[in-house]
Amino acid sequence: MPKILICEDEENIVTFLKAELEYESFETDVALDGNKALELFAKNQYSLILLDIMLPRKNGLEVLHEIRKTSVTPVIIVTARKEVYDKVAFLNAGADDYITKPFDTLELIARIKRNIERTAEAGQTAGLTLNKDSYQAHIDGAELNLTKTEFEILLCLYESIDAVKTRDEIIKTVFGSYYGESNIIDANIKNIRAKLAKHTGREVITTIRGKGYVIRS
């Protein structure tokens, strides 16, 4: 069942949102301030976050910046502010969508479902998340501490979910041109797998003999 984090300090809106979302078969958690939002986010896996801008303690933009350091979980901004520069600021900071109060319930539910579907289609796979700005990668919320080359190899596979990438294709993506022996990829994949294995017992990167490597959805 998809789980949604509601970050909102107006309790009447929280009550309404919880009732509507649970009617649509979503689980919900509630954070009435920015610090609580980050605390819950660190402890749980969410399918989507509804984030108000004007939160106490930490505002919505601060919360969004912290979330985007480790996660690509979809975030919909929900706010009474209608200024274009607010929308642009949050979209540039990594928000996926934006809706203003008062909102139409059917529209909000439709946006929530579409953003969750879009994330699934994009291949947020097996608890794996990558942040291209910070070069951080996480599996099930645990940081992998990859080198720059390891991160870029994993990103190459992650951005092509279900597509087998040959060693030469990975080399071209990561290094820009042919770079030494293709076994440099094998060596880095071995290191990535070792770091993944510390946090998960499942296979994330599959070897296709005679072809290359793939991350399955």
Q: Bigger pLDDT: 14 or 84?
A: 14
**Mean pLDDT value of segment 41-65:** 90
More confidently predicted of 121 and 14: 14
Which residue ranges does the chain devote to CATH 3.40.50.2300? 3-122
Tokens encoding 75? 């975030």
What sign does the CA torsion over 69, 71, 77, 82 have?
positive
**CATH class of this structure's domain 3-122:** alpha beta
CA 23 to chain CA mean position, Å: 25
Task: Tell me the percentage of the chain whose pLDDT exceeds 70.
Answer: 93
Cβ-based neighbours of 144, under 8 Å, separated by 6 or more: 137, 138, 192, 195, 196, 199
Length of the chain: 217
Concatenated DSSP letters of 105-129: HHHHHHHHHHHHHHHHHHT--TTEE
pTM for the predicted model, two decimal places? 0.59
CA atoms of 211 and 217, how far apart (whole Å): 18
| Contact criterion met (CB below 8 Å) for 149 and 187 | no
Q: Which CATH class is domain 128-215?
A: mainly alpha
Q: pLDDT per residue over 3-32, tens digit each?
A: 999 999 999 999 999 999 999 999 999 999
Q: Nearest to residue 48, comparing CAs of 91, 5, 92?
A: 5
Measured distance CA(81)–CA(149) in Å, rounded: 42
pLDDT digits (tens, 9 = 90+) for 168-203: 889 988 887 655 566 889 999 999 999 998 888 778
The enclosing H or E element of 86 equals helix 84-92
* Residue ranges, CATH 1.10.10.10, the chain: 128-215
Tell me the C-alpha to C-alpha distance, in Å, between residue 168 and each of 26, 121, 161, 213: 43, 26, 17, 11
The first and second tokens of residue 113, run together, are 């479902």
Q: In whole numbers, what is the pLDDT of the chain averaged over residues?
A: 86
Q: From the CA atom positions of the chain, what is the Rg in Å?
A: 19
- Fill in the DSSP letter of residue 34: H
Distance CA 171, CA 213 (A): 12
